[in-house]
Amino acid sequence: MTDGSEGRYAGLFRLDGRRVAVVGGAGGIGREAARALAAHGAEVLVVDRDAEGAAETARLADAERGGGAVPYALDVLDEDAVRAAASEWGPLDGLVVTVGVNVRKRIADYSLEEFDRVVALNLRAHFSLVRAVAPGMAERGGGSVVSFASMRAFQVEPGQGVYAASKAGLVQLLRTAAAEWGPRGVRFNAVAPGVVRTPLTDQIAADPDWYDAYAQASALKRWARADEIAGAVVYLLSDASTFVTGSVLTVDGGWTAVDGRYDPSV
């Protein structure tokens, strides 16, 4: 017995005909997200301050899709440049923002300059990009915005105070955006990775004890690869998630589930 809708799910994750900007696409999670989106048919704008890295990502994305990826140099902390870029990009169906930075210091050791740097890139830049892109999506009746938070938005440790605060703030910003633009069809969601081996985690990887402690803290007992986060981005940009907004998709290997603590012999 069928309902007459055979094949309705075959293209659920396809992104053919959709234009997506991946901001922070020159490397790490952004690069793998761009490649995955292209592989599912999206036309990808690879946006980054690192023009050379963005061009390399565009080349890799082209190999996945057979062309269509375009690199775009942008400093996301330049408000005027962000507005101009959004105008140049034209209509977007999706926006992915992966930019972020961490300065691992205890609160008493933080300088105001370091505080401003972390908050500027982890929160203000996302705010600027949302303001530049979301109104156009709303005018066209829909779109999907995905920003990268972190499990540190919910679970902290010494030395993560400002980073954690910025990521928690980003989650609430996206939830508010979901409420404000939801009636006009624009969705906003966060991806919250656990520990992922990218340049952002070089400081940890350089310390074998620290690196291993993080590996052992998750249910899977290892770090993530950047490509293991890309599927979450594809899902949130695709029709598989049309009723998902204001949410946080945690991709942390079970770290927050098992709490990263001692395993008693009970």
Q: How confident is the chain (266 residues) per 10-residue block, as mean pLDDT?
A: 67 97 97 98 98 98 94 98 97 97 96 98 98 98 98 93 98 98 98 91 88 92 96 98 98 89 63
Name the pTM for this structure.
Answer: 0.94
Is there a domain that residue 3 lies in? no
Range of the domain at 68: 19-258
Alpha carbon distance 20, 33 (integer Å): 11
Sign of the alpha-carbon torsion through 52, 14, 196, 126: positive
Is there a domain that residue 265 lies in? no
CATH of residue 148's domain is 3.40.50.720
Is there a domain that residue 2 lies in? no
Edge-to-edge strand ranges of the sheet holding 247-251: 70-73, 43-48, 19-23, 94-97, 143-148, 186-193, 247-251
Is there a domain that residue 168 lies in? yes
Residue 264's pLDDT is 59
Is there a domain that residue 204 lies in? yes
Name the domain count of the chain: 1
Is there a domain that residue 219 lies in? yes
Is there a domain that residue 9 lies in? no
Alpha carbon distance 51, 1 (integer Å): 54
Is there a domain that residue 52 lies in? yes
Q: State both tokens at 219.
A: 């249910």
C-alpha triplet 46, 29, 238: angle, nearest 5°: 70
Helices 161-181 and 112-119 pack at an angle, to 10 degrees, of: 30
**C-alpha to C-alpha distances, 79 to 93, 121, 205, 258, nearest whole angstrom:** 21, 12, 34, 40
Sign of the alpha-carbon torsion through 13, 43, 23, 50: positive
163 noted as active-site residue: yes
Residue 1's pLDDT is 38
Alpha carbon distance 209, 105 (integer Å): 18
Burial class (CB in 10 A: 0-12, 13-18, 19+), 88: exposed
The SS3 call for residue 70 is strand
Which residue among 163, 211, 214, 235 is the active-site one?
163
- For residue 25, is it left (φ>0), alpha (ψ between -120 and 50) or beta? alpha
Residue 198's pLDDT is 87
Alpha carbon distance 49, 23 (integer Å): 9
Q: State both tokens at 59.
A: 């080349």
Alpha carbon distance 33, 254 (integer Å): 21
